[in-house]
């Protein structure tokens, strides 16, 4: 009986030691994620000032947002990456380097990269799927955001050589022209970080 009681006490002691360690690890991971978000949000806002965004019709396309989406989607997952895209978009709007289209143009790409990296394949290559989310954002922009905000139409002249005339086509072309190079740049950054062992340290 004594041995049984003593065994139960030791088991309880081990259990009580494990839970604080788990809570500490989760707390540290949360702090790391928030710190990474703060860094990349600040980077996104700074890059929107210089070299800046590119005015295209009612939008201001910003390739560096898509770069950041790819990096954060891999490093911190879909929800934190989307939160960073939301915060960056709101800050850009507040200082005049972005428009309302920064939100549907940025958030879906971060979600797609983060979800695919978490549930499909954990690889830096997944960052190249960011334009899929941006394409979804372009369709949302053309069909919902633009009509609700009474935004001027996307100019068709720049895309006439492609035979694009519908607004959803023009939004898609403009957003992808920003998203694809941004996603490639994000992938290059991730590969460089991975080779130097930095990616494993910042991935949460």
pLDDT tens digits along 84-124: 999 999 999 999 999 999 999 999 999 999 999 999 999 99
The torsion angles phi and psi of 54, rounded to 5 degrees, stand at: -115, 115
Radius of gyration of the chain (CA): 22
Buried b (16+ CB within 10 A) or exposed e, 46-73: ebbeeeebeebbbbbbbbbbbbbbbbbb
Q: State which residues form the domain around 140.
A: 2-202
**pLDDT grade, residue 142 (50/70/90)?**
very high
d(CA 140, CA 148): 11
CATH of the domain at 25: 1.10.1760.20
**Does the pLDDT value for residue 20 go beyond 70?**
no
Number of domains comprising the chain: 1
The pTM of this model reads 0.85
Q: pLDDT tens, 145-167?
A: 999 999 999 988 777 777 788 89
């Amino acid at each position: 009986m004594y041995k049984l009681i003593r065994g139960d006490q030791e088991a309880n002691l081990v259990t009580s030691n494990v839970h604080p360690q788990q809570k500490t690890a989760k707390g540290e991971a949360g702090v790391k994620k928030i710190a990474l978000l703060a860094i990349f949000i600040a980077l996104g806002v700074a890059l929107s000032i210089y070299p800046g965004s590119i005015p295209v019709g009612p939008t201001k396309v910003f390739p560096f947002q898509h770069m950041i989406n790819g990096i954060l989607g891999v490093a911190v997952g879909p929800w934190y990456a989307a939160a960073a895209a939301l915060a960056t978009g709101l800050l850009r709007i507040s200082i005049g380097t972005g428009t309302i289209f920064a939100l549907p143009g940025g958030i879906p790409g971060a979600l797609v990269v983060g979800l695919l990296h978490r549930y499909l394949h954990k690889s830096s290559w997944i960052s190249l799927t960011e334009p899929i989310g941006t394409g979804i954002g372009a369709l949302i922009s053309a069909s919902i955001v633009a009509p609700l905000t009474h935004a001027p139409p996307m100019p068709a002249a720049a895309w006439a050589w492609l035979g694009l005339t519908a607004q959803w086509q023009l939004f898609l072309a403009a957003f992808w022209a920003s998203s694809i190079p941004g996603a490639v740049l994000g992938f290059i950054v991730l590969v460089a970080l991975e080779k130097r062992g930095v990616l494993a340290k910042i991935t949460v």
